[in-house]
Amino acid sequence: MRTFLSISWLFVTGLSALADEPVVHRIGPDGEYHAPGRPATGPNLLAVGGKTIRFSWMSGQQATPIPVRVDRITAARRIPVAKGETTADGQGWSWEWTPPITRSAVRYEISLNEKPELTLRIAVRDPQWMKGLMTKLQQMKWESANLDHGELAALSAIGLRKISPGPRSAGNTASLSMISDDPGSARRKVIWDGDHPDLVVWRPGPAAGDLEIRAPRWWLSPEALATDQGIIRFLDLFSEPPVNP
């Protein structure tokens, strides 16, 4: 027991130290963002309100500081939020920004002066929503099929430890199902697609209220689930269908 408590204390201490470090996003010379765990170009960014982000644009050449601005994007207008100036080095530009805490999904656009090809779009989520939903999912029971050891370890690392192996499916299709203690509750099942890294499809399941979702398998990788973006993507799959950012 004493050993377990020591390990737990070290784990909590490590999380506290990590929380003080800004999230780093590196953008290549072509203006493309490469998400951790993804085999090719990544999607729009996802972030947590109130948590500092460091953007690093890799130009591959000597750079000089340039102005940067942030606009909030709504369906009807663009609202200026912040301005600043990047730091330059021999590789490109970097800049830090802390998105405001939000109670809903909020979209922002981050642009560099005279560098439209490096414009980023980012959707920011409510940290309390994330915390509450994650706590709920950690208490649920799960059934998996054809997941590898790395994927199961990544799920365990985010607190999903009640995962039982289901029957092997045809063609070794990988899946993860959320199971409620109430037998009358709707079920949600995700089929993990290894061939389409950007495709997400929602469709009704076999019973009323059930949902079956096809999502990119790389979302389940240890590299992806070790990031805020990966956690948000996972939470979206097992919450209400999200609004497209």
Look at residue 39 in the predicted model and tell me its pLDDT. Answer: 56
Q: Express each pLDDT in 164-200 by its tens digit.
A: 987 766 678 999 999 877 776 778 899 999 988 888 9
Look at residue 172 in the predicted model and tell me its pLDDT. Answer: 81
Domains of the chain: 2-125 (2.60.40.420), 128-237 (no CATH)
* Residues 46/125, Cβ–Cβ less than 8 Å: yes
Burial class (CB in 10 A: 0-12, 13-18, 19+), 225: buried
CA atoms within 13 A of residue 126's CA, in its CB half-sphere:
9
Look at residue 223 in the predicted model and tell me its pLDDT. Answer: 94
Q: What is the pLDDT along the chain (245 residues), one digit of tens a residue?
A: 444 344 334 434 444 444 567 888 877 766 777 677 765 544 479 999 999 999 998 876 767 899 999 999 998 999 999 999 999 887 889 999 999 998 888 999 999 998 888 888 999 999 999 999 999 999 999 999 999 999 999 999 999 988 998 776 667 899 999 987 777 677 889 999 998 888 899 998 888 778 899 999 999 999 999 999 999 999 999 987 654 44
Q: Give 92's contacts (C-beta < 8 A, 6+ positions apart).
A: 29, 56, 57, 58, 59, 60, 61, 63
Q: What is the pTM (predicted TM-score) of this model?
A: 0.77
Look at residue 26 in the predicted model and tell me its pLDDT. Answer: 77
Q: Express each pLDDT in 198-234 by its tens digit.
A: 889 999 888 877 889 999 999 999 999 999 999 999 9
Look at residue 210 in the predicted model and tell me its pLDDT. Answer: 84
Look at residue 241 in the predicted model and tell me its pLDDT. Answer: 63
